[in-house]
């Protein structure tokens, strides 16, 4: 696995930009296993928080026109905007947050779930969250936010699963919004 220094000079993490293409070819469990391996390379949680901040810095910003009330995730203390679109039967997520650690967390979720089919997303066992110790090292409000982000991603996947189901008059390829659900 190729490595590149990002942020803290003593901290090696997999470069998100290099992993993006690789992630498109991997299944959800393979991506989770890579994340577990990356986070296991450091023991100190201050360094792991730095990894999340580095991931946030690498994430593409969400276009301003997508930062709307309807794209805000309810249940997050920080402001988190999440959008989803369907491309060739796969759900593509984009997100932004005004808090770096939260943006890093949503970046991990996007890395794992984006570019997969709705059924893959809905049936995914996201074991990496516990395996890297994320749940136990987040404040209660950030843990609630993590659950809210996951819930919204699954709601989008469910909406696209229903849209992609065979019907007599299939809907046009349009992005789902919170108000569609």
Which residue from 53, 43, 57, 55 is spatially nearest to 132, judged by alpha carbons? 43
Which residue from 45, 136, 52 is spatially nearest to 97, judged by alpha carbons? 52
Strand, coil or helix: what is 56?
helix
Q: Which two tokens stand for residue 168?
A: 């007599």
Residue 81 contacts residue 69 (beta carbons within 8 Å): no
Q: Catalytic: 76?
A: yes
Residue 81 contacts residue 72 (beta carbons within 8 Å): yes
Length of the chain: 181
**Containing H/E element for 4?**
strand 4-5
Catalytic residue among 31, 35, 55, 76: 76
In angstroms, the CA 85 to CA 87 distance is 7
Q: What is the CA radius of gyration of the chain?
A: 16
By annotation, the residues acting in catalysis are: 76
């Amino acid at each position: 696995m190729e490595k590149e220094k990002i942020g803290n000079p003593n901290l090696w993490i997999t470069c998100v930009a290099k992993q993006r293409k690789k992630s498109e070819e991997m299944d959800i469990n393979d991506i989770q296993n890579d994340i577990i391996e990356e986070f296991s390379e450091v023991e100190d949680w201050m360094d792991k928080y730095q990894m999340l901040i580095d991931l946030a810095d690498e994430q593409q910003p969400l276009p301003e026109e997508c930062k709307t009330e309807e794209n805000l995730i309810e249940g997050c203390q920080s402001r988190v905007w999440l959008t989803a679109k369907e491309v060739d039967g796969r759900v593509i997520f984009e997100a932004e947050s005004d808090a770096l650690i939260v943006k890093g967390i949503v970046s991990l979720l996007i890395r794992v779930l984006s570019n997969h089919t709705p059924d893959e997303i809905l049936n995914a066992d996201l074991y990496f969250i516990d395996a890297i110790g994320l749940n136990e090292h987040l404040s209660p409000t950030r843990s609630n936010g993590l659950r809210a982000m996951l819930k919204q991603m699954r709601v989008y996947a469910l909406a696209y699963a229903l849209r992609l189901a065979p019907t007599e008059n299939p809907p046009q390829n349009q992005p789902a919004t919170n108000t569609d659900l």
